[in-house]
Structure 1
Amino acid sequence: MNNFDFKNPTKIIFGKDSIEKIENEIPKDAKVLLLFGGGSIKKNGIYNQVKTALSKVNVIEFGGIPANPEYAVLMDALKVIKEEKITYLLAVGGGSVIDGTKFLSAAAVFNGETPWDILTQNIRTEKGMPFGTVLTLPATGSEMNSGAVITRRETKEKLAMGGPGLFPEFSILDPLVITSIPKRQLANGLADAFTHVLEQYMTYPTGALLQDRFAESILQTLIEVAPKIINNPTDYKAASNFMWSCTMALNGLIQKGVPTDWAVHAIGHELTALFGIDHARTLAVIAPSHYTFNFESKKEKLAQYGERVWNITEGTIDDKANAAIEKTVAFFHELGIDTKLSDYTKDYEGTAELISKRFTDRGWLGLGEHQNLSPEKVEEIVKMAY
């Protein structure tokens, strides 16, 4: 196992009817900006619960943060923060709203020329404006980590940011919220969390026995609850396990002491930026091709994954590894998620070359756990995903 440091300061408040506990977490003298997305929280009752919990503090609202948090929209929110002298942010939404709030947390205290520099120059935020979250869509794990991904429509870019100052101070996780989530988004959440685990697990053996089993247990839990969640989101036991699995998939724990990949995300982000494909679905498009292309360097972990998660016991290491990839594709299909780029757009010709050029221009010359995935190799992986 590799050396590591681990600190996660986010307080998790989990369970039924926990939204009312917000009032105990935000300073009474705070001026709060309540941030949310397209307005679904006003239809499903979450908005009213949050407003009731915030009745004793000064609150201003900003809605309309889109599914891929858009830089231009967030800059409008930043103006509100500056003009209204906001002191505390509260994100009520899924990963996009929380990611957007993290950007605002960083941008509110940023002294550089333009907040976009935070993303293009990989500027880590050591201390941002304090914020909390109320999770309404389990998927990204953003409620318990310090990372975010922001989209800029005018340049068709989707870039990551982070830093120790961007952990939420608290996050409310009430599994009851999933009862009103459409099946497509539930499927996305399951696929997103599943792939988050794979990015931290599907590399090569390092003797990190407990870390491997942490990762495998999350994968097994997601597989077990997936049909229950899709068919009956009112199943509280399944909803609880789903929500906590999504959080545990990307709160930093399972990546400690092991190599991590993240090439699938880097490539997938480009597909979202170029075509507007749902984030989780871009991961389902790229992951099978990525594992097939890098089969020789990943086959030991692929076979282990096949044995422990999918109960594949027959054949050689190569047989088990190939079967594991097939099982993963089948799992995505069972969720109703297509796994080829051509399933989402007919204008895919030239995409591989464009992504390769973007990576070259950014200086991203070696992705993956071995940092040996050149832009040329990325081009081949994308073509395999057509």
Structure 2
Amino acid sequence: MSPLVFPKFSFLDPDLTRTLPDEQVANGVADAFVHVVEQYLTYPVHGMVQDRFAEGLLKTLVEIGPTTLADKDDIDARKNFIWSATMALNGLIGSGVPHDWATHMIGHELTAMFGIAHGRTLAIVLPSLLRERKEQKREKLLQFAERVWEINEGSDDEKINSAIDKTEAFFNSLGIVTNLTHYGINDSDIDTVVANMEKMGLTALSETGDLTLDIVHKILTAAK
């Protein structure tokens, strides 16, 4: 990420978030959550400190996301929201660990083509992407299930599936609908998204560069 996109300073005033409509606050919570996930749900590199940072942020967002929306006057929830969002993408948790920005790359196309708010596109894409990439992300998904969602019963596959389901349910609890059909997107639109990504050279995504456009098509089709 270019240093040119980092601000020289930021106004992190939780009171200002109360001027936003609930929909935009929900989008912000989802965006922050996915920012963390894309620097965490990759493959193990013994980044123990980075993992614990990420897990703490994810658990915090899960805890305060619905609370922030339910009560505009809960300033403590909003303080923790904006601090979590800041820590999610200030470079700290991603230092020395692999990143996977595929969800963002796909989501950007949905926003550009159909005007769906950025945070919502991420909430739509992420669950389907994780289901499609379960084997490639298996070790970290299991860690995610046990540490973030505290799922300690069942087989490894059952834990992973439950964690992905809980992630999607979390987005739904914020009032975000996580299927493309709700936004009027059909099979032809998915074909157009994939074609546009090809034109832009976005043909080898993920932390390992093996997420091809065929897989993007599968992810979007599953997100219908």
1:355, distance to aligned residue in structure 2 (A): 2.1
Identify the residue that residue 375 of structure 1 maps to in structure 2: 213
Which digits, 9 at most, give the CA deviation of each residue in 1:151-172, with x for residues without a partner?
A: xxxxxxxxxxx62233222112
Which structure is higher in helix share?
2
Alignment of 1:76-225 (within 5 A): 163-225=2-64
Ranked by relative contact order (alpha carbons within 8 Å, sequence separation 6 or more), the top structure is: 2
Shift of the alpha carbon at 1:304?
0.8
Correspondence 1:209-248 to 2 at 5 A: 209-248=48-87
Q: Output the CA distance in 2 between the equivalents of 1:264 and 1:354.
A: 17
Partner residue, 2:200: 362
CA contact (8 A) 2:107 2:118 kept: yes
Aligned partner of 1:312 in structure 2 is: 151
What letter matches 1:310 in structure 2?
A: W
User: Pairwise CA RMSD of aligned residues?
Assistant: 1.2
Taking the aligned partners of 1:369 and 1:281, their CA distance within structure 2 comes to 22
Distance 1:332 1:293 in 2: 18
Contact 1:218 / 1:249 at 8 angstroms: preserved in 2? yes
Higher Cα Rg, which structure: 1
**Structure 2 match to 1:323:** 162
What TM-score comes out, normalization by structure 1 length?
0.56
Structure 1 stretches of at least 4 aligned residues deviating more than 3 Å after TM superposition = none
Please give the alpha-carbon distance, in whole angstroms, between the structure 2 residues aligned to 1:206 and 1:231.
38
Mark the runs of 5 or more structure 2 residues left unpaired by the alignment: none
Partner of 2:183: 344
SS in 2 for 1:172: coil
Contact 1:306 1:321 in 2 (8 A): yes
Say if 1:262 and 1:368, in contact at 8 Å, map to a contact too.
yes
Bigger share in strand: 1
CA distance in 1, matches of 2:106, 2:64: 28
1:231-270 correspondence to structure 2 within 5 Å: 231-270=70-109
What TM-score results when the alignment is normalised by the length of structure 2?
A: 0.96
